[in-house]
Amino acid sequence: MPTPTPQSVWSRIFGSGGNYRYLTNSVRRAIDHASVTQGRWRYIVVHNSGTRQGSASAFDHYNRNVRKMPNGHAYHFVIGNGTSTREGAIEIGNRWYRQIQGGHVHSDYLNNIAIGICLVGDFNNSHPGSGQLGALKELIDYLRHRVGTIHRQAAVVRAHRDINPPQWPTDCPGNQFPYSWLQRNF
């Protein structure tokens, strides 16, 4: 049974305004509004789009109309790089609102228990911006509190390449992504 978290509880934990630079009030309200089932989300998986530009709506259009994915883009969240949206802008996808599985890992099992966050960019050819990393840090910290713990462990954060099944290797989120930063922070 879903256990929505009242806004007042989140305000006590994070403060009404918080010290957020990227996680706006409207994004936090939308995250809090989703009816999250306790124990549902065990992983948070970080991706890159593999494109120089993009946004949640662009990815959604492509996935619905070209790839014929009925639930649209594969991620729960998209973080902009300053091309189609502001650098560090956090966009929430339909999959988070509806609390449905992602389409971001080559495993139905993992897609059912893993939140997908996509940073716009091709990190085989460039580095993510500081705004993207700042937004990623704030978003992951907030989501880990929002989805709760399983056996006293917060959701595990992994790069796509480190969680994808071995028979389908990937370099996502790219060779220029700061994996040591991800390990230090999570």
Which pTM was predicted?
Answer: 0.89
Domain of residue 48 covers 7-185
**Mind listing the pLDDT tens digit for each residue in 3-53?**
444 443 444 444 445 689 999 999 999 999 999 998 999 999 999 999 999
Measured at the CA of 104, the angle between CA 160 and CA 182, to 5 degrees, comes to: 30
User: Does residue 139 belong to any structural domain of this protein?
Assistant: yes
User: Does residue 1 belong to any structural domain of this protein?
Assistant: no
Tell how strand 77-79 and strand 43-48 pair up: unpaired
**Mind listing the pLDDT tens digit for each residue in 114-163?**
999 999 999 999 999 999 999 999 999 999 999 999 889 999 999 999 99
CATH number (domain holding residue 146): 3.40.80.10
Task: Report the candidate in 117, 90, 119 with the shortest Cα–Cα distance to residue 28.
Answer: 90
User: Does residue 108 belong to any structural domain of this protein?
Assistant: yes
Tell how strand 156-159 and strand 114-119 pair up: unpaired
Beta partners for 78?
Answer: 91, 118
Overall domain count for the chain: 1
User: Does residue 2 belong to any structural domain of this protein?
Assistant: no
Residue located via tokens 């560090």: 88
Residue located via tokens 């390449």: 161
